[in-house]
């Protein structure tokens, strides 16, 4: 499999180089030159397959022989060795729970897959790799855990001061070792801009081998397809509508990719918070990135979503085709909190703020389409968000995997959003 840049000014590369580089020199995103097609009986067969087997069959064409099948099978088995249950909430809405991994967030899958690929490729190269990642919440914790103590890899994480929850911050800042955490006095967009600048800094590349662990990296992005296959494995009836909490749009882009391969999903809803760049674009045709605003669903606080260009690529930048398959809505914090309370009161289910945004968006869609049913992606455990207990007026049970972080010492450096400071830290790591 070859990968081209969405800006089309960098040469095509294979999977290995796309993973190691993270981002093309022209600041586009790597995209597969061809999208694999599922065999006619794949969906039927996957009902009897293990999650690891499904993951291997889905990802193998994208890896394109860059590692032995035996090692890829091992990586897939290690990546998805926890549950992905599809839980019924109401008569028409189901939740695919993606928070049963080690950091209680959907990003565990991509981080675990990428860390193992990078370890394999770094060992081949015999050279230290530095991973840089910007996070609005869950990505950093998943990456920190997935890459912690991986030989030959150093990790630099950037997160916005005051814009992540207590649990998210503890997962980001308490591991130490090969993980360096930087708290920026700014927004997620500032963090992401610095990470992108580092990845395209030619003079830095001469002294440090740098790659990204954000979903701009194909090894983080592509495995997110697995969720949708696991959902359909448990689904009965006609193809569902899927409502995806959307910030940087990697998760939704992977779902769209899976449907182009042949997975039967009827329609996607990009469920956004007040950061409504994409809903506005689908409504007006004008794409206007702008600074992000803080919301209850903080991991979705993105004002310039990187991965949306991949969605545009899949539809040939044809807005009419895009809107036939995907709609986008903005849900306020007030509606988010109201949804958390109503779902708990009516169904006894506790949503996190991101899942609540997806639930509200899907609920509105189903009101207009009474013959349809749908799935929300519940992307993180509600205990990771300080707001949920306050909204419900009750304390949430804390899983043991979270409680252990409370007694750990934070290790974090607070900085201004200054690229030169981050650059010096990377160079120190490279020595």
pLDDT tens string 313-325? 999 988 889 999 9
User: What mean pLDDT comes out for the span 342-354?
Assistant: 97
Q: Is the pLDDT of residue 311 over 90?
A: yes
Looking at residues 114-125, what average pLDDT do you find? 84
Name residue, tokens 């007026």: 393
Give yes or no for residue 186 having a pLDDT over 90.
yes
pLDDT band, very low/low/confident/very high, at 128 (cuts 50, 70, 90): confident
- CATH class for domain 83-105+221-392? alpha beta
Q: Residue 225 has what pLDDT?
A: 97
Classify the C-alpha dihedral 296-299-304-305 as positive or negative: negative
Task: Check residue 319 and give its pLDDT.
Answer: 87
Crossing angle, helix 225-233 and helix 250-261, to 10 degrees?
60
Q: How far is the C-alpha of 2 from the C-alpha of 6, rounded, in Å?
A: 13
Catalytic residue among 107, 196, 373, 384: 107
Tell me the CA distances in angstroms from 395 to 44, 99, 339, 381, 391, one per residue in order. 42, 19, 18, 14, 10
> What pLDDT is attached to residue 261?
96
pLDDT digits (tens, 9 = 90+) for 1-26: 999 999 999 999 999 999 988 889 89
Distance (Å, whole) CA 381 – CA 211: 28
Section 268-276 average pLDDT: 97
Q: Residue 274, Cβ neighbours under 10 Å: how many?
A: 17
107 is catalytic: yes
∠ CA 298-418-169, nearest 5°, is 35
Q: How far is Cα 384 from Cα 401, in angstroms, rounded to an integer? A: 11
Token pair, residue 56, equals: 């291997």
Per the structure block, which two tokens stand in for 22?
């993270």
Torsion of the alpha carbons at 215, 219, 120 and 261, rounded to the nearest 10: 170
Q: Is the dihedral of CA 93, 98, 100, 103 positive or negative?
A: negative
- Residue 41 reports pLDDT greater than 80: yes
Is the pLDDT score of 214 beyond 80?
Answer: no
Q: Is the pLDDT of residue 400 over 90?
A: no
CA–CA distance, 302 with 173 (Å, rounded to integer): 22
- pLDDT reported for residue 309: 95
Task: Indicate if the pLDDT at residue 112 is higher than 70.
Answer: yes
Return the SS3 of 297.
coil
Q: Which residues contact 412 (CB under 8 A, 6 or more apart)?
A: 172, 173, 181, 182, 183
For residue 261, count CB atoms less than 10 angstroms from its CB and return exposed for 0-12, middle for 13-18, buried for 19 or more: middle
Q: Average pLDDT, stretch 147-176?
A: 87
pLDDT of residue 126: 66
- Residue 173: which of 183, 186, 185 has the closest Cα? 183
Cα→Cα distances 418→186, 201, 357, 421, Å: 10, 14, 33, 6
């Amino acid at each position: 499999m070859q990968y081209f840049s969405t800006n089309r000014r960098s040469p095509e590369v294979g999977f290995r180089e796309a993973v190691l580089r993270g981002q093309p020199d022209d600041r586009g995103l790597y995209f597969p030159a061809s999208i694999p097609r599922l065999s006619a009986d794949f969906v039927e067969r996957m009902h009897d397959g293990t999650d690891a087997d499904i993951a291997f069959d889905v990802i193998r064409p994208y890896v394109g022989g860059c590692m032995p099948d035996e090692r890829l099978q091992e990586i897939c088995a290690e990546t998805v060795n926890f549950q992905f249950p599809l839980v019924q909430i109401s008569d028409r809405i189901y939740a695919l729970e993606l928070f049963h991994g080690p950091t209680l967030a959907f990003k565990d899958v991509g981080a675990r897959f990428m860390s193992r690929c990078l370890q394999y490729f770094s060992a081949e190269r015999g050279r230290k790799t530095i991973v840089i990642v910007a996070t609005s919440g869950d990505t950093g914790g998943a990456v920190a855990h997935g890459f912690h103590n991986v030989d030959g890899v150093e990790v630099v994480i950037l997160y916005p001061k005051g814009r992540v929850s207590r649990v998210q911050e503890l997962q980001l800042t308490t591991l130490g070792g090969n993980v360096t955490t930087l708290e920026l006095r700014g927004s997620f967009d500032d963090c992401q801009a610095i990470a992108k600048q580092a990845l395209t800094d030619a003079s830095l590349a001469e002294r440090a081998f740098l790659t990204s662990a954000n979903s701009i990296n194909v090894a983080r992005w592509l495995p997110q397809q697995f969720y949708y296959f696991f959902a359909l494995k448990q689904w009965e009836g006609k193809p569902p509508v899927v409502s995806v909490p959307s910030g940087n749009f990697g998760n939704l882009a992977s779902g769209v990719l899976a449907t182009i391969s042949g997975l039967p999903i009827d329609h996607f809803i990009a469920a956004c918070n007040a950061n409504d760049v994409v809903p506005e674009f689908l409504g007006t045709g004008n794409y206007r990135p702008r600074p992000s605003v803080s919301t209850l669903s903080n991991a979705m606080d993105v004002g310039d979503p990187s991965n949306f260009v991949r969605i545009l690529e899949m539809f040939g930048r044809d807005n009419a085709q895009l809107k036939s398959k995907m709609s986008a809505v903005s849900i306020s914090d007030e509606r988010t909190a109201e949804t958390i309370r109503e779902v708990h009161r009516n169904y006894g289910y506790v949503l996190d703020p991101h899942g609540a945004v997806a639930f509200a968006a899907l609920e509105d869609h189903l009101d207009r389409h009474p013959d349809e049913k749908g799935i929300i992606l519940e992307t993180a455990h509600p205990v990771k968000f300080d707001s949920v207990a306050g909204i419900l007026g009750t304390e949430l049970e804390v899983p043991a995997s979270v409680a252990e972080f409370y007694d750990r010492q934070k290790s974090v450096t607070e900085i201004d959003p200054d690229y030169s400071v981050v650059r010096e830290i990377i160079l120190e790591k490279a020595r």
